[in-house]
Amino acid sequence: METSKLKRIVKRRRAQPSALAWPVGGIGNVNSNNKLTSVKPSPITNSSINSTASHSKVRRHRNPSIRQNKSSQQWIDKYQPRSIKELCIAPAKISLVQNWLESKYDKECIDPTKFIILAGATGIGKSTLIRVLAKELGYRILEWNESFMEYSRQGGYQSSIQQFQEFLDSVSFPYEAVSISDGASAPAKKSLVLIDDLPHLHTQEQKVQFQHCFNAYIQKTQTPTVMIYSNGSEGKLKPDDLEEYLDPQILYSPLVNIIQINPVTKAKMKTCLMKIFQKEGIRIPSPDFFEEMHLKHAGDMRHAIMNLQFQYGSFEGKGFIGRNSTNSGVSTTSMDSRDKKLSTFHALGKILYAKRVDQVSQRSLNQEEDYHDYSWNLDKRPQLQFDAETVLEESDIGIHGALNFVQFHSPDFFSEISEINQAFSNFSDAAYLLDSPYELRGSLFPEAYATSICGRTVGDTNKHPAPSKFRQLTAPKTYEVKRKQNENMIKIENICRRLTYREHHLALDVNVRSSHDFASDALPFIKRIIPEEVATLSSDIFSQRNINIANANNVDNDSINDVKIQVSQQTEVLTRDDIVDSSDDEDICNGNVNASTCMNDSNKNGAKFDHTENEPDIIVIE
Amino acid sequence: MPLWVDKHRPKDLSQLTYHDDTTSRLKSLAEDPHSLPHLLFYGPSGAGKKTRISCLLKAIYGNGAERLRLDKRTFKTPTNRSVDVNMICSNYHIELNPGDAGIYDRFVVQEVIKEMAANKSLNAGGGIMGISASTEEDDSKKKKAVEYKIVVLMEVDKLTKQAQAALRRTMEKYSSTCRLILCCNNQSKVIDPLRSRCLGMRIAAPSHDDVCVALKNVAAKEKITLPDKLTIGIAEECSRNLRRAMLMLETSRVNAGSTVLRDNQGIHKTDWEMFILQLARDITMEQSPQKLIAAREKLYELLINCIPATLILKTLTMELIQNLDDELKYEVIEAAAFYEHRIAMGSKDIFHLEAFVAKFMTIYKKYLNDMFA
Amino acid sequence: MSLSEATPWVEKYRPKKLTEVSHQNEVVSTLQNAVSTNRLPHLLLYGPPGTGKTSVALALCKTLWHPSQYSKRVLELNASDERGISVVREKIKHFASLAVSNAPNPNARKNFFGKQDVEMKEPDEEPEDEYPNPPFKVIILDEADTVTPDAQAALRRIIEAHSKITRFILICNYVTRIIEPLASRCAKFRFQSLPPQSMLNRLKFIGEAEGVQYANADEVLGEILDKAQGDMRRAVTTLQSAHMLSGKKIIQKDDIAEMAGLPPSNVCQELMNIFQDPKSNFGTMEKAVQNCLMEGYAAQYIMKDLLNRVMVLDDKILKELHKANIAIKIAEADKCLVDSADEGLQLLMVCSLILKCFKNN
């Protein structure tokens, strides 16, 4: 039971070093003693990168045919972004990070965030973003990167956590840290900490230990810190995963900001690749090519460029790469394409708009229906049975997230309460399975069952679906609720403690009682008896409720506003990114639909999912 | 100004107003502190377990046991994680809620008891003093007699099984220097070996009359006029929880704005109970997906305010079955018990709460349809 | 003096010799035979709690060695000790490795603990022959069924590795929780619930020794036996609690349930009356249930008691099918309570089912 979990972790972790190797800049500067690397914001020397990059390449492909060509530089290094403009990340995200970094050394800044997490698929330029920004702003990067570690000699994993802790201790005061690494020469240099990879965590104990040292660090640090969180196989941020590393209490506190970097859009990728083509003097291939590139690499820029070089090598001299090349020459499926991914919203939309799943599951039950309309599905993944499990597996949201999401949005798709009841009881089953005791966790079955339940419930139970209409698929409020609950819990604990200390009188009742009891049992009364004591700390908690009683629809204004702002921000950013793509989009929708649709869906719609617009089959149903 | 619930808490065994049997038992234990066994207090919350424990401590150690201080201790676990635990100490005893330590409860419990046992020297000093000091006769008589410290552990039923098992061992090991008083709501959650090593003290919730007497007492001390009807009203509303009754009384006093309370003055339920009441009303009014979505918002709100999911479910169920046909009640309670179990088992409260609401809506709608069909 | 008073009677009156163990004659005679022929196998003792498993194991060890040898020869591990695989392995390895010599004469081996040199001088003369002093050590693993299967598998290796110089005595309540390979290495002994008579005798003996006074000896002890349900330990503990709580005065019969922490029989009888009363409705039942909980009785015990009462009812009062349903629900509720579900809801659920069954009969 335990081993399968272990394997999973190992697998995931194994994917990472290679992912990180590309933009690793100052590998030549590694100070092997304290693992503290200072990357000078000077242009990165090519030679130093070369070795890392080629190394990663070999590892990624495990293909002996790729040999390091010493005479020609790796393209991924050659065309590495040198300025903000060259980055393939949405401008709004860049400026978000940039502003934050700048503000951290601004004395008047009041932003409490000390720690940002850049989450996103591998190879979309997260660490590059930081490096480029650091260069432009003249920051020094203090870096932790586990690729530097040598386990065997260091005596196992335990020490890697220790070293990580030492590293954190050494960097938490920005000026000090610089003086350590650089003598006393440049004391006032601005610096930032970059955590590019995390120590391996195998046991629960290590996780706890890690969490603890991380939490302590976040609370005390004065250096702006960026953590890169890439998940090789999943692409999108899964809160569950992050919670493994960070205590949710910290994770959702204002100290930490999680920024999701989306995969490189087709337009961006096209521009980038075009530039390379031009510089290398290759004839520019047909537009199809870019589509296919994007589809294959699922927004992984690094992978795309590496493949390009590889392909170019085999087609050198001919100077043309077209659609044919991928069909006839190099095997598309086995070698150079990444795992195909469904975007979160696409996948969840499929599940929620039950018709699709319904049709599909009917097919899998061998009931002959007119599913020829869905041949586009088959076209997308020819050899796959298209069913709920696959959808979820291929989507980049984890089962926990998916379950939250589907459960949260499902009532809107029902018209019969008894059917919802069935669905909800199924969801409760799934949640129960996912909550199974720790020893069982990680074993395949409960999770696989939960996945099936999660994926099939709506299709199965919703016999009288509500009329289809536009629905906004926002992030489920579950997390929001949890976060606020934690916040309030802390507040209540404080009240509890303060009342205990009041006038040096130890109130026997208040002190050693769990805050849960206190919140429901005593607090409501105390609030009335001594409002002034409670109000200062908990104004937020209970004033809100009064509003809500008056206006039931308007619950949790804050959170709704938060979400709204996020949504609008995201949409804005994404549309700005994708202006070029919009025309392509239509073509695809009307004609040959392929997987790039879903990539674009995810980018364009972000948090919104407009089903009627993108899915042709809705017409059939209406 | 301390809350009435603290201000008028009985400080001495002789001040206890109800459960005379138990009180006399405690007295007989205090008279012979040599042979004080480990104790296990159990009973519903607000019944007065804690009050009785502190009275007992006072009876054993004298006034010194009342000089309390709040300590925040940090324990370093073997895995190098530090755990903060708040504890209340006097020179003679220490009180903590090991549940604070989460999964490290076993470790914290062992550490605390070990430490207490190691501090024996300090207390044995008291014993030596007792021999030499004929001057401080009165005080030292008791000190000499009692050569152990007491560790009071709250919410033992919430301890992990491992911690409880560890406790059993530690109890035996240090029993000469350290006695334990355990306190819990539900003794069946305490493992057998532990229970068999302790003397059980059942503290039942006070009866309505007991509550009324206590309320009247406090009213007299605070010099407020408390009409009988209001007293009975509070006694009924507090669900035999004396702490609650006291808080209600003080709330009523604040609301009345004067020392004269009136009969017709409303008794305040807690705000969250009102909220659940309204939720129950909404649910019974109309059963549709839209209503379910509205209900879910209310559930979120309750959770955000740190009302435990179990309590939400329980209160809601009790509210819902009030006006139901007896036929339906079993079905609803069965569903509630089912989902409450799930809540207790896992961490995804929302799923189970909502599933229960949906279930109720379905049951109720079917019932209505059948009735009108 | 204060210490001896605090010692639980269970420990104080634990049988010191195999012959003192009441009622487990078959086990005892087999073991005695094994001891006399010097062919003691690994043992697996199982049976319900309080039937003397630990007592037999300890008494066996005490007959094997002189008390001065005891601590060197016997290692006791129970569930409250650390039970991780590594800990078990380390402790046992360490312990077993100390017994390299298997000379029957203890004098040859006392240098392992320097301080014991002194102590050993006096008693080693005459009682030497009384004890068989077999050339091995014993490791008693109490509550072995709480050891995880993984650790049990590891234990298997350990047993094999050290089998020359150590004998294991595994003690557990549920033999099914011991993995088969482990169980097959041991001679299994099943302990049966003690018959009331032999328990009564022992209780009387203890009562006399401690000077317990009863209002009515037979009634009080009968009640204790009834509540203990064949668990000797519980019976003795109850007697001790009752003795202490009554202020060492006269014990009344009614006190017993209170001491045992069980709901007195009238509580459940009241519930039964409500169920059977045609006039009662959900409301009255609910009130009674709330009352039970408010009094601080554990729902688990109430349910157990209710089950016993419901099962013995005549078919005319309650149909067999209903009984079956009730039994199932109670079993489920019990499991839920073990998972720390809410007592009130579970008990209310069970009681409303029983009420419904009575109404539908």
> A566-612 pLDDT, tens per residue?
555 444 443 443 322 333 333 333 333 333 333 333 333 333 333 33
Q: If you measure CA to CA, which chain A residue comes closest to B90?
A: A506
Q: Are the C-beta atoms of residues A271 and A94 closer than 8 Å to each other?
A: no
* Mutation target among A205, A215, A417 for the B interface, most CBs of B within 10 A: A417
Please name the member of C1, C6, C343 whose beta carbon is closest to the beta carbon of B186.
Answer: C343
Give the start-to-end residue ranges of the domains of chain B: 19-202, 208-256, 271-372
pLDDT band at A554; cut points 50, 70, 90: very low
Distances (CA, A) of C298 to A418, B338, C256, C264, C294: 36, 19, 16, 11, 10
| Per-window interface: C 289-328 vs B, CB < 8 A | 293-301
In angstroms, the separation between the Cα of residue A529 and the nearest Cα of chain B is 5
Total Cβ atoms within 10 A of residue B55: 24
pLDDT band at A505; cut points 50, 70, 90: low
Residues C255 and C277 in one domain: no
Q: Are the C-beta atoms of residues A329 and A390 closer than 8 Å to each other?
A: no
Please name the member of C245, C261, C345 whose beta carbon is closest to the beta carbon of B333.
Answer: C345
CATH of domain B271-372: 1.20.272.10
The answer to whether B240 faces chain C, any CB pair under 8 Å, is yes
The answer to whether A462 faces chain B, any CB pair under 8 Å, is no
* Mutation target among A419, A518, A520 for the B interface, most CBs of B within 10 A: A520
**Residue C70 structure tokens:** 């005891």
B309's CB contacts (< 8 A; 6+ apart) are B303, B343, B349, B352, B353
Predicted confidence (pLDDT) per residue in A89-143, tens digit: 777 778 888 888 777 777 666 677 778 887 777 677 777 888 888 888 778 777 7
Distances (CA, A) of A110 to A106, A113, A255, A387: 9, 9, 12, 49
Instruction: Please give the pLDDT value at position A515.
Output: 56
Could you give the 3-state DSSP secondary structure of residue A540? helix
Q: Are the C-beta atoms of residues C147 and C141 closer than 8 Å to each other?
A: yes
Distances (CA, A) of B164 to B155, B171, B189, C48, C260: 11, 10, 10, 21, 19
* Chains adjacent to C (≥3 CB pairs closer than 8 angstroms): B
Q: Are the C-beta atoms of residues A577 and A267 closer than 8 Å to each other?
A: yes
CATH number, domain at C352? 1.20.272.10
| Lowest mean per-residue pLDDT among A45-49, A360-364, B219-223, B320-324 | A45-49
Question: Residue type at B48?
Answer: G
Average pLDDT over chain B, rounded to whole? 82
Query: Do the Cβ atoms of B278 and A549 come within 8 Å?
Result: yes
Query: Do the Cβ atoms of C6 and B192 come within 8 Å?
Result: no
Instruction: Please give the pLDDT value at position B91.
Output: 81
**Residue A331 structure tokens:** 């095997």
Q: What fold does the segment set B19-202 form as a domain?
A: Rossmann fold (3.40.50)
**Residue C135 structure tokens:** 């050339």
Count of alpha carbons within 13 angstroms of residue C44, beta-carbon side: 19
Residues C53 and C140 in one domain: yes
- Residue A594's region, left for phi above 0, alpha for psi from -120 to 50, else beta, is beta
Query: Do the Cβ atoms of B86 and A435 come within 8 Å?
Result: no
Predicted confidence (pLDDT) per residue in C54-84, tens digit: 888 888 888 887 777 777 788 887 655 555 6
Residues C343 and C282 in one domain: yes
Query: Do the Cβ atoms of B202 and C258 come within 8 Å?
Result: yes
What is the rounded radius of gyration, in angstroms, for the C-alpha atoms of chain A?
26
φ, ψ for residue A181, nearest 5 deg:
-80, -20
Residues C255 and C283 in one domain: no
| Per-window interface: C 147-186 vs B, CB < 8 A | none
Instruction: Please give the pLDDT value at position B363.
Output: 92
Total Cβ atoms within 10 A of residue A276: 17
Q: Which residue has the higher pLDDT, A303 or C16?
A: C16
Count of alpha carbons within 13 angstroms of residue B67, beta-carbon side: 6
Count of alpha carbons within 13 angstroms of residue A221, beta-carbon side: 31
Question: Which of B195, B187, B156, B200 lies closest to C231 in space, CA to CA?
Answer: B195
| Lowest mean per-residue pLDDT among A380-394, C38-52, C184-198 | A380-394
φ, ψ for residue B96, nearest 5 deg:
-150, 160
Please name the member of A500, A503, A515 whose beta carbon is closest to the beta carbon of B70.
Answer: A500
CATH number, domain at C50? 3.40.50.300
Residues C330 and C206 in one domain: no
For residues B281 and B320, what is the distance between their CA atoms, to the nearest angstrom?
Answer: 8
Query: Do the Cβ atoms of C281 and B326 come within 8 Å?
Result: yes
Q: Are the C-beta atoms of residues B157 and B187 closer than 8 Å to each other?
A: yes
* Mutation target among B24, B29, B155, B341 for the C interface, most CBs of C within 10 A: B341
The answer to whether A520 faces chain B, any CB pair under 8 Å, is yes
For residues A300 and A264, what is the distance between their CA atoms, to the nearest angstrom?
Answer: 7
Total Cβ atoms within 10 A of residue B69: 11
Q: Are the C-beta atoms of residues B143 and B173 closer than 8 Å to each other?
A: no
Q: What is the enclosing helix (H) or strand (E) of A480? A: helix A477-501
The answer to whether B48 faces chain C, any CB pair under 8 Å, is no
Per the domain annotation, does C111 fall within a domain? no
Query: Do the Cβ atoms of C337 and B188 come within 8 Å?
Result: yes
For residues A66 and A57, what is the distance between their CA atoms, to the nearest angstrom?
Answer: 8
φ, ψ for residue B90, nearest 5 deg:
-125, -175
* Chains adjacent to B (≥3 CB pairs closer than 8 angstroms): A, C
Question: Which of B369, B370, B314 lies closest to B341 in space, CA to CA?
Answer: B314
Q: Are the C-beta atoms of residues B229 and B267 closer than 8 Å to each other?
A: no
Beta-ladder partners of B260: B225
| Per-window interface: B 336-365 vs C, CB < 8 A | 336-337, 340-341, 344-345
Contacting residues of B for C237, CB less than 8 Å apart: 196
CATH number, domain at C247? 1.10.8.60
Predicted confidence (pLDDT) per residue in A490-499, tens digit: 777 777 777 7
The answer to whether A276 faces chain B, any CB pair under 8 Å, is no
φ, ψ for residue A424, nearest 5 deg:
-65, -35
Residues C79 and C161 in one domain: yes
Q: Which residue has the higher pLDDT, A267 or C140?
A: C140
Count of alpha carbons within 13 angstroms of residue C50, beta-carbon side: 22
pLDDT band at A542; cut points 50, 70, 90: very low
Instruction: Please give the pLDDT value at position A14.
Output: 43
**Residue A266 structure tokens:** 């087709």
Contacting residues of C for B353, CB less than 8 Å apart: none
pLDDT at A226 over 60: yes
| Per-window interface: C 228-257 vs B, CB < 8 A | 233-234, 237, 241, 244-245, 247
Exposure string of A339-368, with b = 16+ CB inside 10 Å and e = fewer, is: ebbbbbbbbbbbbbbbbbbbbbbebeeeee
Q: pTM to 2 decimals?
A: 0.65
Provide the domain limits for residue C226: 196-259
Question: Which of B249, B117, B260 lies closest to B179 in space, CA to CA?
Answer: B117
The answer to whether A407 faces chain B, any CB pair under 8 Å, is yes
Per the domain annotation, does C110 fall within a domain? no
Please name the member of B9, B275, B346 whose beta carbon is closest to the beta carbon of A549.
Answer: B275
Instruction: Please give the pLDDT value at position C323.
Output: 92
Query: Do the Cβ atoms of A520 and B244 come within 8 Å?
Result: no
Q: Of C211, C234, C259, which one is at a domain's C-terminal end?
A: C259
Contacting residues of B for A458, CB less than 8 Å apart: none
Query: Do the Cβ atoms of B204 and C336 come within 8 Å?
Result: no
Contacting residues of B for C333, CB less than 8 Å apart: 337
Query: Do the Cβ atoms of C344 and B314 come within 8 Å?
Result: yes
The runs of H, that is alpha helices, within B160-222 are: 161-173, 192-197, 208-222
The runs of H, that is alpha helices, within A315-398 are: 323-324, 344-352, 354-364, 375-380, 388-394
* Chain pair A-B, CB pairs under 8 angstroms: 211
Say if the ipTM goes beyond 0.90.
no
Residues C151 and C242 in one domain: no
Per the domain annotation, does C124 fall within a domain? no
Q: Of C259, C276, C308, which one is at a domain's C-terminal end?
A: C259
Three-state SS string over chain C comes to CHHHHHCCHHHHCCCCCHHHCCCCHHHHHHHHHHHHCCCCCCEEEECCCCCCHHHHHHHHHHHHCCHHHHHHHEEEECCCCCCCHHHHHHHHHHHHHCCCCCCCCHHHHHHHCCCHHHHHCCCCCCHHHHCCCCCCEEEEECCHHHCCHHHHHHHHHHHHHCCCCEEEEEEECCHHHCCHHHHCCCEEEECCCCCHHHHHHHHHHHHHHHCCEECCHHHHHHHHHHHHCCCHHHHHHHHHHHHHHCCCCEECCCHHHHHHCCCCHHHHHHHHHHHHCCCCCHHHHHHHHHHHHHCCCCHHHHHHHHHHHHHCCCCCCCCHHHHHHHHHHHHHHHHHHHCCCCHHHHHHHHHHHHHHHHHHC
What is the rounded average pLDDT of the residues C327-353? 90
Please name the member of C81, C245, C294 whose beta carbon is closest to the beta carbon of B199.
Answer: C245
pLDDT at C96 over 60: yes
Please name the member of A208, A489, A521 whose beta carbon is closest to the beta carbon of B244.
Answer: A521
Instruction: Please give the pLDDT value at position A545.
Output: 45
Question: Which of C345, C274, C257 lies closest to C309 in space, CA to CA?
Answer: C274
Residues C61 and C164 in one domain: yes
Q: Of C239, C259, C279, which one is at a domain's C-terminal end?
A: C259
For residues A51 and A71, what is the distance between their CA atoms, to the nearest angstrom?
Answer: 13
Question: Which of B45, B52, B62 lies closest to B23 in space, CA to CA?
Answer: B52
Per the domain annotation, does C351 fall within a domain? yes
Q: Are the C-beta atoms of residues C276 and C317 closer than 8 Å to each other?
A: yes
Q: Are the C-beta atoms of residues C147 and C155 closer than 8 Å to each other?
A: yes
A172's CB contacts (< 8 A; 6+ apart) are A217, A220, A221, A222, A223
Question: Which of A348, A297, A352, A283 lies closest to A326 in space, CA to CA?
Answer: A297
In angstroms, the separation between the Cα of residue C37 and the nearest Cα of chain B is 36
pLDDT band at A202; cut points 50, 70, 90: low
**Residue B198 structure tokens:** 């302790």
For residues A527 and A523, what is the distance between their CA atoms, to the nearest angstrom?
Answer: 6
Instruction: Please give the pLDDT value at position C158.
Output: 78
Share of chain A above pLDDT 90, in %: 0
* Chain pair B-C, CB pairs under 8 angstroms: 122
Residues C38 and C67 in one domain: yes
In angstroms, the separation between the Cα of residue A506 and the nearest Cα of chain B is 7
Q: Are the C-beta atoms of residues A520 and B307 closer than 8 Å to each other?
A: yes
pLDDT band at B21; cut points 50, 70, 90: confident
Please name the member of B25, B37, B314 whose beta carbon is closest to the beta carbon of C6.
Answer: B37
Scanning the structure block, which residue is given the tokens 């030492």?
Answer: A166
Query: Do the Cβ atoms of A512 and B87 come within 8 Å?
Result: yes
Scanning the structure block, which residue is given the tokens 């500067």?
Answer: A29
DSSP secondary structure letter of residue A316: T
Residues C216 and C281 in one domain: no
* Mutation target among B109, B186, B209 for the C interface, most CBs of C within 10 A: B186
Contacting residues of B for A507, CB less than 8 Å apart: 2-3, 6
For residues C313 and C285, what is the distance between their CA atoms, to the nearest angstrom?
Answer: 19
Could you tell me how many residues make up chain A? 622
Instruction: Please give the pLDDT value at position A55.
Output: 40
Q: How many domains does chain C have?
A: 3
Instruction: Please give the pLDDT value at position C178.
Output: 84
Residues C244 and C274 in one domain: no
Query: Do the Cβ atoms of A507 and B2 come within 8 Å?
Result: yes
> What does the DSSP assignment read for B50-108?
HHHHHHHHHHHHGGGGG--EEEEEEEE-TTS-EEEEEEEE-SSEEEE-GGGGGGGHHHH
